[in-house]
Chains A and B, each alone.
Chain A
Amino acid sequence: MKLLKTIRWTVLVSALVLVPHGAVRAQETNQLNQLKRQLEQMQENFEKVQRAQREQIEALTKQLNEVIQQSTATADQKKLEAQLALELATNQPAAAPSAKGLDKAPWSPAQPLTVARSGASYLNMSFDGMFAVGGSSAQDIPALEFGGHDPKQNGFTVQNLEMTLDGKVDPYFRGQANIVLQIDPDGATSVEAEEAYLETISLPWNLQVKAGQYYTAFGRINPTHPHTWDFVDQPLVIGRFLGPDGLRNPGAQVSWLAPTPFYSELFLSVQNSGGETANSFRDVAGTELITQRPGVDTSVQNAGDMLYSPRYVMSFDLGDEHTLVLGGSGAFGPNASGQDGRTAIYGADLFYKWKSRQHDKGFPFVTWQTEYLYSHYEAAAYPGSPGFSPAAATTINNWGVYSQVSYGFRPRWVASLRGDYVTGQPGDFWADPLLDDRYRISPALTFYPSEFSKLRLQYNYDHIQSVGVENSVWFQFEFLLGAHSAHKF
């Protein structure tokens, strides 16, 4: 029994011992698995977190990069701007205007012309002011100095106040206007639209059309403005035949550049034949002066009563330094002596220039210009009026010439000499002594402080057949503001 008991106990004990042993073993495996699971879980968690964090980091990095990129871009731009500003600043005239504070200079009347900075505005604008001071031995100076811009009295004369506007109108036309203000000896200011015309830029067949109010292309002096003249006054023959203000009227002109190896151009102009700027034509006052009998206010009946002016001009270069220009002109139209009155003026002109091939500002140079004009004036029969007996039709033929030489002997200095001669076949009723045969010798000395200003001293020795000798001395000064439009040759 005892043994049984013992066995029981042993079994129990061993069971007790063994059972726990087995239980412990089972417990250990459980724990291991648990731990393993835990570890796996943690690892999984860690990886998850890591992944999430990495994603977060990546996102942040991306964001950061974007931000950085942006900021560097702005920084780069800022840097470039600064660099450009510096470059632009150094691009300015280093010393002159800014240093003298001209940038901040107050507005002055000379400045508005900067709006017409060439190429930066739609038109070029300039203003020319030309004045004369001096005196003459003659009593009637306006009759002696016949030209519209000539000195008109002892003392000062405002010769010309001229505003010039010019520019491209559109791809087809160029436009120009010369508006002139004049102050008469009695102080009255008058406005004259000397020229206002458009000109085609590129017609086919080498043609060019000019239309509007313009100076007739007759000879060399007539189409130019007094600013370009070599003397204080207009040549005598131009004043007598083409009028004190030159020959200009509303009309249209076509010119053709001929396909010759040398320059040659043909002009044909059709203009109105009346008004005071068509002195030898249907201008009543001009007609009265020429015919010395009352004029008739005629009208335009047909196309033949217009003013027609052809001109042909050619030019040759004789080497680098010599240029010759030859031209022939005509002007044909009715006059105001009656419905049958006709005028024909013919002109021949020559211009020669020598200019050194090493010239400094265009000096030294020599120019020689001569124009010869012949006027054939057919005065119609005059029916008579109170105080004037009738007169038969008559023809008045006159001619005149001027020749001038200018020598630009050193930069800015020009010495000039001009000779004038006109014949004076008298009219019927009363003889105006100032329309007699006349010659004039005019030496002049011009100083150009710059191409925009001019000082000129001139002496005129004037011989009029039935009057005698008159002496005049004139001093001229001129300024030019704004764009200086280039001179034609």
Chain B
Amino acid sequence: MKTILSMLNGLCRLRRQSDCGDGAFARLDGCKPSRASSQSGVALRLTTQSKKLPLTTVASIVLLAFAFSAQAKLNVVCTTPDIASLAQAVGGDKVEITTLARPTEDPHFVDAKPSFIVKLNRADALIEGGAELEVGWLPPLLTGARNAKLAAGAPGYLRANEGVQMLEVPTSLDRSEGDIHAAGNPHFLVDPENAKIIVRHIAEAFCKLDAANCATYQANLKKFLDELDAKMVEWQKQLAPFKGDQIVAYHNSWVYFAKRFGLKINVFLEPKPGIPPSPAHLASVITKMKADKAHVIIVDPYLNRRTAETVARNTDATVVDVAQMPGGVKGTEGGYLALMDYLVNSLTKALAEKK
């Protein structure tokens, strides 16, 4: 019995490992090599043991192991890294987080890779933005995943924007206005007040899915909210001197941030959302920047920085690399708070330069 139990344990670990990707690609997928080597050790022990067992026993053990592993850690898939960092803050070591989109890529145009189907098939919960940011790639993945836990209305399916007051909800849907989203501007997580709403929902959902660890989730939630509140005071203070200052963005993804911190981010290098900058439009941006004395241009990692640099040369402005996703720019890998810290610090610095 003891051997069977230890095998079960080994299989549980094996199963968890498999979420990180298989063998050779484990390291590329961000799995630590040390874990991979311990996995092969377990696998070796398993093969020598299983030789003595009939096939049916092995099969039932495998099934049991799958059932056990499902309970071991909550397997949560998040569509984007910002949501993932919040889920990690609440879940701590009780959850295994898998993120589909990379922090540096354009989240509107992620490929529906078949490997994502596997990740979703094995997940206990899915947290998506809920504002159509993922509409171009998530639906076929969910159909392929055939996972009842992630069905709409199931406790394992979460829309991050629930309870968030969406901005720029269009009154009419007209694509000549560019890439507009029917549910409103989907870049709502850069407002820390929205992050607060979301972490509360996440904690609630985790408690429902894994009641045994509810106390941990609640404690993590409180810790995160306390830290965020303390930081929020700092951020507000840092950005207070620049209230009403004009910042130019490449893409219209900063409306929530601007509103929260009293900045004006309403001039864009894109003439319409998703439509590439044209020279005529850039010329009008330059004129407007000179008139408004705007001297900061912010660019996401996946957008064309050279376009921003061209405008900056003509207006004596500074280009600031920003990101919506933790890990999108250097120094933001630590998660949501690190990202917000970076954003506030780099903007404060750039705004102060020519004040």
Contacts from A to B (Cβ < 8 Å): 87, 91-98, 102-103, 105, 110-111, 113-114, 117-120, 168, 171, 174, 199-203, 206-208, 257, 260-263, 265, 313, 315-320, 323, 325, 353, 355-362, 411-412, 450-452, 484-489
Contact (Cβ within 8 A) A450 B275: yes
Closest residue of chain A to B179, judged by CB?
A: A450
- Stretch binding the partner chain, chosen from B135-143, B188-196, B206-214, B346-354: B135-143
Q: With an 8 A cutoff between CB atoms, is B132 at the interface? A: yes
Q: Once the chains are docked, how many angstroms separate the CA of A317 from the CA of B102?
A: 14
Chain B residues touching A, range: 35 or more
Nearest CB in chain A to that of B103: its residue: A357
What are the residues of chain A within 8 A of B18 when measuring CB–CB? 261
A451 CA to B266 CA, complexed, in Å: 25
Q: What secondary structure prevails in chain B residues at the interface with A? A: loop
Which of B108, B113, B145, B174 meets A315, CB within 8 Å?
Answer: B113
Do residues A257 and B117 form an inter-chain contact, with CB atoms below 8 A? yes
Are A92's CB and B171's CB within 8 A? yes
Q: Which residues of B contact A (CB under 8 A)?
A: 18, 21-22, 25, 28-29, 102, 104-106, 108-109, 111-115, 117-118, 121, 132, 135-140, 143-148, 151-153, 165-175, 177, 179-180, 182-184, 266, 274-276, 301-304
Contact B168 A94 (CB under 8 A): yes
Is B28 touching A257 in the complex (CB atoms < 8 A)?
no
B-chain residues with CB within 8 Å of residue A362 when the two chains form the complex = 106, 109, 111
Complex interface: chain A residues within 8 A of B105 (CB): 356-359
In the bound complex, residues from chain B placing their C-beta under 8 Å from that of A207 are 146
A361 B136 Cβ-Cβ under 8 A: no
The answer to whether B121 and A206 have CB atoms under 8 Å apart is yes
Residues of chain B contacted by A117 (CB below 8 angstroms): 173, 182
Of the candidates B135, B146, B172, the one whose C-beta lies within 8 Å of that of A208 is B146
Cβ-closest chain A residue relative to B178:
A450
Contact A97 B25 (CB under 8 A): no
CB-nearest residue of chain B to A355: B111
Q: Evaluate whether A119 and B114 lie within 8 angstroms (CB atoms) in the complex, with A92-B169, A318-B28, A450-B274 already known.
A: no
Task: Indicate if the CB atoms of B114 and A263 lie closer than 8 Å.
Answer: yes
The answer for the CA separation of A113 and B173 in the assembled complex, in Å, is: 9
- Chain A residues with Cβ below 8 Å from B180 are 93
Output the residue of B108, B109, B303 with the most chain A CB within 10 A.
B109
The answer to whether B146 touches A206 (Cβ under 8 A) is yes
Q: For B301, what are the chain A residues with a Cβ–Cβ distance below 8 Å?
A: 358
User: Do A97 and B140 form a contact, CB below 8 Å, given A203-B146, A262-B22?
Assistant: no
Give A340 to B108 CA distance when docked, in angstroms: 53
Q: Which residue of B lies closest to A361 (CB)?
A: B109
> Which residues of chain A are near B146, meaning CB under 8 Å?
200-203, 206-208, 257
Q: In the complex, what distance in Å separates the CA atom of A94 from the CA atom of B169?
A: 10
Interchain CB contact under 8 A, A114 and B172: yes
A96 CB, nearest partner CB in chain B, Å? 6
Q: Report Cα–Cα, A297/B28, bound state, in Å.
A: 57
List A contacts of B121 (CB < 8 A). Answer: 206, 257
- Between A and B, 10 residue pairs with Cβ closer than 8 Å are A91-B169, A92-B169, A114-B173, A208-B146, A257-B145, A263-B118, A265-B114, A316-B115, A353-B111, A450-B275
